[in-house]
Structure formats: structure tokens, C-alpha cells
Amino acid sequence: MEKVKILWIDDEIKLLKPHILFLESKGYKIFTINNGNDAIDFIKKTKTDIIFLDENMPGLSGLDTLSIISKITSTPVIMITKSEEEHIMEEAIGSKISDYLIKPLNPYQILLSLKKNLEIKRLVNNKVISDYQKEFQKISSLISGANVFSDWVEIYKKITFWELELDKISSDDMNEIIEMQKNEANNLFFKFIRSNYQKLLNEKFIKDDICFSQNLLKEKVFPFLSETSNNFCILIDNLRFDQWKVLQPYFEEFFNIENESIFSSILPTATQYSRNSIFSGLLPVEIKKIFANYWKGENETGGKNLFEEEFLKNLILKSDVKNKKFNYFKILNSNEGWKLNEKFNSIKNIDINFIVYNFVDMLSHAKTGINMIKELTPNDKSYRHLTKTWFQNSSLYKMLGLISESKSKLFLFTDHGTINVKYPSKLIGDKNTSTNLRYKTGRKLKFNFKDVMEIDNPNQIGLNLESLSSNFIFAKPNIYFTYPNNYNKFVNYFKDTYQHGGISMEEMLCPIIRLSPK
């Protein structure tokens, strides 16, 4: 086993020779440096497992050195000091040291601190792995026995929980296992949707604990609007359940979570279908019938989500909240978000403020078109991390504080999720075939039957006929459609990108959260 490497930074390093010999006798490898500047150069070039840092050094002080170290490495730092002054300890702890020791040092005191800070990571890793190994079989049994929608919600929540737990440790083997289990679940979820979607969508034939896009506001929001304070409804486009769980701690800084649940996006899991259904309270075939001028087909030019405010106005007028005043805002870039924050005082007294944030959707599309984003997000773990980084620096984070301060209630939801596609599936269609990579509609489509759910009569699932004899197909998890022409070019271009429109737990099972201000 490779020795644990320790970097010890102290201007009186020669006086510490007995302690260094003691640690070397215990199997540790020690690097010694007597000033902060040289230590920083060393850290940039050499990886160690832990750092001992003297607080009281001439030149670059220990605290100043610590400040620089924390920006270039996440290696644990143990501060060593002669002083027990409170302000020094507070400053060191505020800089996220892992531990601190008071001189004169005791060899076993040093050893205990090392064990605590190095072994705890191994112990935590082992516990997480052990706990997931115990849960693995239980989840597998749930997957094989799932036969109603609520079963899949439970499975998806459990898998997401363990994905996030395993994100905290470094174990390629366990990450591979959870990925295999999620793929197994997704493939069976696809079969469940393919067999039951039409029945689930039609409440006359089946009763299950399920809410689709067109009923989201009517069932999950309007009945819970506050009568004593104002309400904010925030839709983050393309926000998956796992991304919500990563962002949850930031929301909990300002709000208490009253309820967290899952609804299902309609098919296709694409913005022009799912979001229009949310704000209209209607399925696409009904939208086109009632609002013929507002609905845009796949091959029609112009934006396909331009009339959400009009849909929302009509829905509110037909509902129990028809007497409430509302605003609707769509945030398409960072500047628009900050401008909305600036005029918060002018909107905070409106009964319901609906705000759509499009950033996560842009993030997923950026992975397709921008190589740097693609390299930064090779898997779901890094995609979650990038989402968190965006949020921490976003106008939305600031908006949460403003909403909480105004004592308003908050509803957070999305329109659909997204999935990392890995496997191409060849498809042949005419020039009028739709362009989405995860679903297609058109005439005389030729495709691999095992890769799709086919709908010959789109009206049966609330969709419009794009043309006579046209049908819809929806891709199974991890699949993306490609044409035979320039096949290899497009396979490589779209592989490992985030797409939506098809059938998977990530795309269909979406979060809806009800929060109250602290």
C-alpha cells in the first residue's frame, strides 16, 4: 500500500525532527518546508494527502498561506499554533481547516489528528458502500416488481439518493454498479410506459397516484396557494429531480419544505409540449382545438412557446383562483434575471408571480454545441456539479432571499428532464420528419422497433396529427436517433450529450416542491 504523504510547513522545522521520525516510523512519508511561499510552489506541483501548517511564521504568515492553499487544493489542512487566542482560531476555522493543534506538540496528539482526518474518509466511504450494498437487492426487487406509477417514483427517488451518496466518495466500481442498476430500472420503466401510457393519461380507465403536466397547476399548486401572503411559482426549465436534490440545501437556507413530490411530464418530454400543457391545463390536441392561432406544429416556423402567458390567463379564469392577480416573466439570460430582482418591490404584492428560468435548458444544449461544456460534464455527477455552480452565482439564488424576506410562499417545478444519450439508433424519414433526437413525428418512418414506443394514432395520447398518416415514435433511455447520411459524423457529435423528448425516468419524473418562508 502506498504511504500516506504529509507536507509539514513550519519555519522551525528542524526542531520538529523527533515528531517527523516518529511519524516515519509509523509508515508516513513526510515532506518538510520552512516557509509559505515555497510551500505554495510545492503544492502546485506535488499532491499530498494532508498538510500541517504553522500559524506563526515570518514573511507569509500561516493564515495567509492557508488562504492561498485553500484556493488551489482541497487537501485537508491541520493548523498548528502556539496561541489559543479566539480570533486566530475563528479565522483559521473560517478558512475551513480540518483540525488545529496547540504547541507544544505531543506525538500521539499528532497521530490522533492524522487518524481522525485521514481514516474518517475511508470509514465514511466504507459505510456508504456497505449501506448501498445492503440496499442494492431491495431496489432490484422493487424494480422487478414495479407495476404502478408510484412504484417507479419510489425507485427513482431511491436510486437518486444513492447516486448522490456515492458522489461523495471515490469509487469507480460502485459508480458503475449504480449506473447499471439505473439502466436496468430505466429499461423496465420504458416498457411500463409503452404498455400503460395511454391508460395512465386517461383517468377514466385507471386510477394511480399520478399527475401529468396538464394537471400540475390545477392539482399541485392552485389548491395550496396562500390566502394570507403572496405566492411565487418558479419553473426551472429542464430541471431533473437529482438536480433539485443538489440545490435543495440552498433553498432550505430561506424556506421550509412543506411538500416534495413527483409529477409526470407528458410525451414528448419537450418544452413545446410539456410547458404549454402546464400553463394551459390542456393536452396539445386540446390546445390546438381551443387556441388554433397559438399552437405551432413541428414544421411550422416561429417560436413554439410564445403564448404561455395567454394560456395561463385562460387557465386561471376557469379555476378557483380566478380572482387572483398574476404576473408572468420569462428569464432567458442572466441580465434579465438581475433586472427582475431589481424591481422586486414592484411585484412582491401581486397574488401570484410566475417566473420561468431557462438556464438549465441552455446548459444542457450547450453540452452539445460547446466542447468545453461537454468536457466539463462527462457524466451525471459532473452535470449536477455544474448545475450547482451555476445556481450559486445566479440571480435566482438572490431571488430566493427576496421572496423569503417578503414572507411569500414558493412553488418550484419544471416542465421535463433530460438524459445523457449514448447509443445511436438509425432512422429513415422524409424531409418533413421532426428534428428532435429523442422523438420523431412524420410519415413512413423506418426505425428499429426495439428502440422505440410507436403511436400510430397520436390523438389517443393527446397529440396532434402533423399530417395524414403521420405517427410519433419515442426513444427508449440513452438512445438518440440518427440518419444514415453522415452517420459517423452525427454519432460522434451527439454521443454523451443531454437530450430530451423521449422516455426515461430522468425526462418524465419531475419534481414539484411546495415551500414556505422561514
- What DSSP string describes 263-309? EEPPSS-SHHHHHHHHHHTS-HHHHHHH-TTT---TTS-S-SSS-HH
- As to burial, measured by CB atoms within 10 angstroms (0-12 exposed, 13-18 middle, 19+ buried), residue 101 is middle
Beta bridge partners of 440: 473
**Dist. CA 189–CA 143, nearest whole Å:** 9
pLDDT for position 343: 97
Q: What is the pLDDT of residues 165-184, one digit of tens each?
A: 999 887 777 888 899 999 99
Question: Cα dist. 103→16, 86, 301 in Å?
Answer: 11, 15, 74
State whether 392 and 270 are in the same domain: yes
**Dist. CA 515–CA 357, nearest whole Å:** 18
Mean pLDDT of all residues in 404-431: 95
**Inside any domain, residue 21:** yes
State whether 414 and 426 are in the same domain: no
**Dist. CA 344–CA 357, nearest whole Å:** 16
State whether 440 and 412 are in the same domain: no
Q: Which amino acid is at 91?
A: E
pLDDT for position 196: 93
| 460, pLDDT greater than 80 | yes
Question: Cα dist. 309→40, 111, 271, 328, 403 in Å?
Answer: 55, 64, 15, 6, 21
pLDDT for position 402: 98
pLDDT for position 46: 92
**Count of Cβ atoms closer than 10 Å to residue 343 Cβ:** 10
Contacts of 420 (CB under 8 A, 6+ apart): 379, 380, 383, 478, 496, 497, 498
| 86, pLDDT greater than 80 | no
**Inside any domain, residue 116:** no
Contacts of 19 (CB under 8 A, 6+ apart): 105, 107, 110
State whether 197 and 258 are in the same domain: no
**Inside any domain, residue 111:** no
CATH number at residue 308: 3.40.720.10
The residue out of 168, 201, 234 marking a domain boundary is: 201
pLDDT for position 82: 77
State whether 243 and 308 are in the same domain: yes
DSSP single-letter state for residue 99: E
pLDDT for position 379: 87
State whether 301 and 345 are in the same domain: yes
**Inside any domain, residue 401:** yes
pLDDT for position 396: 95
- Maximum average pLDDT range among 56-65, 81-90, 299-308, 401-410: 401-410
pLDDT for position 446: 94
| 43, pLDDT greater than 90 | yes
State whether 267 and 413 are in the same domain: yes
Mean pLDDT of all residues in 427-439: 92
The residue out of 105, 133, 163 marking a domain boundary is: 105
Lowest-confidence segment of 145-154, 166-175, 407-416 by average pLDDT: 166-175
pLDDT for position 204: 53
**Dist. CA 282–CA 462, nearest whole Å:** 9
CATH number at residue 18: 3.40.50.2300
Q: How confident is the model at residue 374 (pLDDT cuts 50, 70, 90)?
A: low
**Inside any domain, residue 207:** no
Lowest-confidence segment of 187-196, 235-244, 482-491 by average pLDDT: 482-491
State whether 484 and 339 are in the same domain: no
| 92: helix, strand or coil | helix
Q: Which amino acid is at 333?
A: N
User: For the chain, what percent of residues have pLDDT higher than 70?
Assistant: 92
State whether 345 and 444 are in the same domain: no
**Dist. CA 475–CA 500, nearest whole Å:** 10
**Inside any domain, residue 208:** no
Q: How confident is the model at residue 90 (pLDDT cuts 50, 70, 90)?
A: low
Lowest-confidence segment of 118-122, 468-472, 497-501 by average pLDDT: 118-122
Write out the residue range of the structural domain in which residue 453 sits: 420-503
Mean pLDDT of all residues in 66-91: 75
Return the higher-pLDDT residue of 204 and 262: 262
**Dist. CA 29–CA 32, nearest whole Å:** 10
**Inside any domain, residue 306:** yes
State whether 276 and 408 are in the same domain: yes
pLDDT for position 207: 57
State whether 224 and 166 are in the same domain: no
DSSP single-letter state for residue 430: -
State whether 338 and 460 are in the same domain: no
- CA 459 to chain centroid, in Å, comes to 33
pLDDT for position 273: 97
pLDDT for position 134: 87
| 466, pLDDT greater than 90 | no
Quote the mean pLDDT of the chain.
Answer: 89
| 418, pLDDT greater than 70 | yes
Q: How many domains does the chain have?
A: 4
Q: What is the pLDDT of residues 334-373, one digit of tens each?
A: 899 999 999 999 999 999 999 999 876 666 555 555 565 6
Name the residue among 217, 184, 214 with its Cα closest to residue 200. Answer: 214
Note the pTM of the prediction, 2 decimals.
Answer: 0.80
Q: What is the pLDDT of residues 307-317, one digit of tens each?
A: 999 999 999 99
pLDDT for position 84: 57
| 92, pLDDT greater than 80 | no
**Inside any domain, residue 119:** no
| 517, pLDDT greater than 90 | yes
What stretches of 406-443 show up as alpha helix (H) in DSSP? none
The three cell numbers locating residue 32 = 518538510
